[in-house]
Amino acid sequence: MKSFTLSALTAALALSALCSAQSAHAIEVSKKAKDIAQNTIIVDSHIDVPFRINKRWEDVTVATEKGDFDYPRAKKGGLNAPFMSIYLPATLEAPGKDYGVQLAHQLIDSVEAIANRAPDKFAVAYSTSDVEEHFKKGLISLPMGMENGSPVAGSLDNLKMFYDRGIRYITLAHSLSNHISDSSYDLRRNWKGLSPFGKELVVEMNKLGVMVDISHVSDAAFYQAMEITKAPAIASHSSLRKFTPGFERNMDDKMIKALAKNGGVIQINFGSSFVSQETRDWQDDLSKKFEAAGVKWGDPKANEIAEAHRKAKPYPFASLETVLDHIDHVKNLVGIDYVGIGSDFDGVGDSLPRDLKDVSYFPHLVQGLLNRGYTEQEIKKILSGNFMRVWKKVEAVAASM
């Protein structure tokens, strides 16, 4: 989930999104692209359904009015292994808070409820073999990753508890530094990377079979995690700093090379502000207007400022081609084996690119890759092969430790 998915920006985007949808020339999707999407395991390593339905409940086992994910759209897109993000706001680790432990359990409960409510459609997945077995049965797997390790709350016993409940990756920090790691968004670098407990936690995650997710962490924390981990790591929903210079939340070429050397995988985030510098500039200009007016994201006055900003310059949505540029760059830099999909659906509001507006659009992504000359084998690696390789290796390392 993006650090700032707030009402002012969402309000400003609503009309822009409608205009964009009406004016965009939809990509023509071939039967081959549809067949690849339907006949391949598609792992999307980051979808924020649990937090979305916790804020405003909808039954995603049937068609929904809101959001980017529900069963009919997932089936249409061929998505069959979406990681449900157990997202905990960074502020839950503030003094007097419970580190998000209670909310984490509630969100995990909500994923289990989806599967229990529609066992003919969904099943919680705890392993790579579960994903493969569910695929054979025509079920959509629901593996889980924890976005923000705060609920570990300094306890390796808690880590084991969450593993037993199904958590298979942990994003070490989110938008603020926590007791595990510094955050790329937080100017305060409390630990100069990982905390002493964070370093211990990475080792224990290896032992249990919990993937180490370096999305959101500071550069220093990333390199320390690379030094410590005995298993491949993931970036569950990150994009490339090459296209967004200065945006530490994304990964630079040196980091991508280090992740590839580790055997890991970067899962490309679809959010417009993650893949397009033009979009980042638009949002930065809006933030400056908020600062000048003395308002914050979410304030009533902020909505007015955001709407005026949008009228002066419509929101510059990224496109499918922009996302493909990020995939191309990883392939050209380190090879096809180290890139996958971490869309951040339901986590980036209305800022999704043209032709990638919800989970029904995966055939568009496949067609875009075909149009750029990717082979079917390469496309299947991007859709799931690379991530499943990493996850299997993490399972094997845990078994050996």
pLDDT digits 0-9 by tens, 247-257: 999 999 999 99
- Residue 1, domain member (yes or no): no
Pair 202, 229: CB distance under 8 Å: yes
List the structure tokens of 287.
């933030």
pLDDT at 203: 98
Range scoring the smallest mean pLDDT among 90-94, 108-112, 243-247, 391-395: 90-94
Assign 108 a pLDDT band (cuts: 50, 70, 90).
Answer: very high
- pLDDT for residue 307: 93
Please say whether the dihedral angle defined by the alpha carbons of residues 4, 8, 12 and 17, taken in this order, is positive or negative: positive
- Give CA–CA dist 323/155, Å, rounded: 38
Paired tokens of 297:
């994201």
42 φ, ψ (degrees, to nearest 5) = -110, 115
Count structural domains, the chain. Answer: 1
| Residue with token string 């930065």 | 284
Angle (nearest 5°) at CA 232 between 395 and 145: 65
Q: What is the pLDDT of residues 122-174, one digit of tens each?
A: 999 999 999 999 999 999 999 999 999 999 999 999 999 999 999 999 999 99
Q: 140-151 pLDDT, tens per residue?
A: 999 999 999 999
| Plot region of 373 (φ>0 → left; ψ -120 to 50 → alpha; else → beta) | left
d(CA 58, CA 302): 28
Between CA 54 and CA 71 the distance in angstroms is: 17
Query: What pLDDT does 1 receive?
Result: 54
pLDDT (mean) for 101-113: 98
pLDDT at 299: 85
Q: Read off the pLDDT of residues 28-60 as tens digits, 9 standing for 90 and up.
A: 999 999 999 999 999 999 999 999 999 999 999
Average pLDDT over residues 294-305: 88
Closest residue by Cα to residue 232 from 47, 395, 367: 395
| CA 61 to the chain's CA centroid | 21
DSSP class of 28: P
Flag whether pLDDT at 322 surpasses 90: yes
Average pLDDT over residues 89-113: 95
The runs of H, that is alpha helices, within 209-318 are: 219-228, 253-261, 272-275, 277-293, 300-312
pLDDT reported for residue 10:
52
- CA-to-CA separations, 18 to 32, 298, 354, in angstroms, rounded: 29, 22, 11
Report the predicted TM-score, pTM, of the whole model to 2 decimal places: 0.94
The confidence score (pLDDT) of residue 13 equals 55
Please report, rounded to a whole number, the percentage of residues in the chain having pLDDT higher than 70.
94
Checking if the pLDDT of 6 tops 50, the result is: no
The distance from CA 74 to its chain's CA centroid, rounded to whole angstroms, is 16
CATH number of the structural domain spanning residue 79? 3.20.20.140
Distance CA 193, CA 225 (A): 9
Q: What is the domain extent for residue 357?
A: 7-400
Would residue 264 count as lying in a domain?
Answer: yes
Three-class SS of residue 62? coil
Structure tokens at 107: 């969100």
pLDDT band at 26; cut points 50, 70, 90? confident
Task: Decide if pLDDT at 295 tops 50.
Answer: yes
> Tokens at residue 368, please?
């875009």
Query: Could you give the CA distance from residue 73 to residue 83 in angstroms, rounded to a whole number?
Result: 16
Mean pLDDT over all residues of the chain?
94
pLDDT 10s digits, 179-235: 999 999 999 999 999 999 999 999 999 999 999 999 999 999 999 999 999 999 999
Residue 2 lies in a domain: no
Lowest mean pLDDT across 5-9, 136-140, 209-213, 349-353: 5-9
Cβ(359)–Cβ(169) below 8 Å: no
pLDDT band at 319, cuts 50/70/90? very high
Amino acid identity at 57: W
Q: What is the pLDDT of residue 5?
A: 42
- Say if 369 falls within a structural domain: yes
- Cβ-proximal residues to 320 (8 Å cutoff; 6+ apart), any chain: 27, 353, 354, 355, 356, 364, 365, 368
Distance CA 93, CA 100 (A): 7
CA 163 distance to own-chain centroid: 19
Percent of the chain with pLDDT over 90: 90
Query: What confidence score (pLDDT) does residue 139 get?
Result: 98
The pLDDT tens digits for 259-284 are: 999 999 999 999 999 999 999 999 99
Pure H helices in 90-179: 101-117, 128-137, 156-164
The lowest-confidence range among 8-22, 112-126, 225-239, 330-344 is: 8-22
Q: Which residue has the higher pLDDT, 298 or 189?
A: 189
Please report where in the chains the tokens 């790579």 appear, as a residue. Answer: 128
Q: How many CA atoms lie within 13 A of 65 on its CB side?
A: 3
Q: What is the pLDDT of residue 395?
A: 98
Q: Which residues contact 394 (CB under 8 A, 6 or more apart)?
A: 206, 209, 210, 211, 231, 232
> Which of 10-14, 135-139, 151-155, 296-300 has the weakest average pLDDT?
10-14
Q: How would residue 22 be classed by pLDDT, with cut points 50, 70 and 90?
A: very low
Assess contact for 239 and 327: CB atoms under 8 A: no
What number of H helices and E strands is found in the chain?
Answer: 17, 10
Is 341 a residue whose pLDDT tops 80?
Answer: yes
Least Cα distance to 390 among 323, 332, 339, 343 occurs for 339
Instruction: Establish if 241 belongs to a structural domain.
Output: yes
